[in-house]
Amino acid sequence: MGLSTLAFLRGVASWKKETKLKREAALPSCGGTYPGGPITCTQRNAKVCILENVYWKQFGLIYFVWVASLALQITKNYYTTCSTLYWVVNLLQIPVCFGVSLFEAFGLYKGWRKISSNNDSTSKLRAWQLIILCIFGIVAGTVGALLGLGGGFIMGPLFLELGVPPEVSTATSTFIMVFSSSIAVVQYYLLKRFPVPYGVCLTVVATFAAFVGQHAVRKVIAVLGRASLIIFTLAFIILISTISLGGIGISNMIKKIEHHENMGFESLCNYNA
């Protein structure tokens, strides 16, 4: 609820700023104004090769974490659950993720790594800001793993607070979710625990819905010239997800308590990973 409110307030602020920019801007916005100013037709229509638009070093770091985490997740299944080697292999994921996060945080702190999309190429993040970012990242991963919610619900509003435009924020959080979810898909498939027809059906439906949603939002933004609509959409989705997930969870918990059913809390060592 707090994240939803935070995103909504950020949307209101962006809406007011867009209104001011639309009144003051002499150049056509071509369907969007951002905190750094209006987007001109020349800027919006400029096209480059997709290979030139990829930050290969950063992509390589993410891919390294993906491969290392997947390898460790698969390797631990070859050891007895809760054995010494099992926990050693399992906990090796921490230094891998911590090392890459520390490297990126050091670059943001020193200034040779920039958040270029917030239109402030000279800014440096302070130590306390980096610590908060890492904490939110851990919370996002934990919530995503325990509740099945995408980490974008947490990272999206956080990116907005950093001054990242809503389109970039949504795309970034969604892109990162691909890596976390794909690790689980590959792992369960190799362990023969993944229902392929069910997964294919969900993939087709989700892909179709993503293209339709993206096309619809782009059209609406082009007509109204307000990218803040993405922020309001994010706030609404977070609100609905919180209410539905929380309501269903509380309802199921009450029923289990009334019928003295197992709440699902068992020893981690009773099951294989």
3-state class of 34 per DSSP? strand
Domain chopping of the chain, boundaries: 2-270
End-to-end CA distance of the chain: 32
pLDDT digit string (tens) for 74-121? 888 888 888 888 899 989 988 988 898 888 888 888 877 777 665 554
d(CA 52, CA 149): 32
The model's pTM is 0.69
What pLDDT score was predicted for residue 34?
Answer: 46
What pLDDT score was predicted for residue 205?
Answer: 92
What pLDDT score was predicted for residue 132?
Answer: 84
Buried b (16+ CB within 10 A) or exposed e, 209-231: eeeeeeeebeeebeeebbbbbbb
What pLDDT score was predicted for residue 271?
Answer: 57
Token pair of 51 as six digits? 């290979």
d(CA 150, CA 178): 10
What pLDDT score was predicted for residue 148?
Answer: 65
DSSP H helices in 92-192: 93-110, 127-147, 152-161, 166-190
d(CA 273, CA 57): 32
Of 88, 44, 97, 43, the closest CA to residue 69 belongs to: 97
Burial of 14 (0-12, 13-18, 19+ CB in 10 A): buried
31 secondary structure, DSSP code: S
- For 217, the enclosing helix (H) or strand (E) is helix 196-224
What pLDDT score was predicted for residue 41?
Answer: 47
What pLDDT score was predicted for residue 35?
Answer: 44
Residues with Cβ within 8 Å of 168's Cβ and at least 6 positions away in sequence, in order, are 117, 159
What pLDDT score was predicted for residue 161?
Answer: 72
- How many other C-beta atoms can be found within 10 angstroms of the C-beta atom of residue 256? 13
Residues of the chain with pLDDT under 50: 28-29, 31-44, 121, 273
What pLDDT score was predicted for residue 95?
Answer: 92
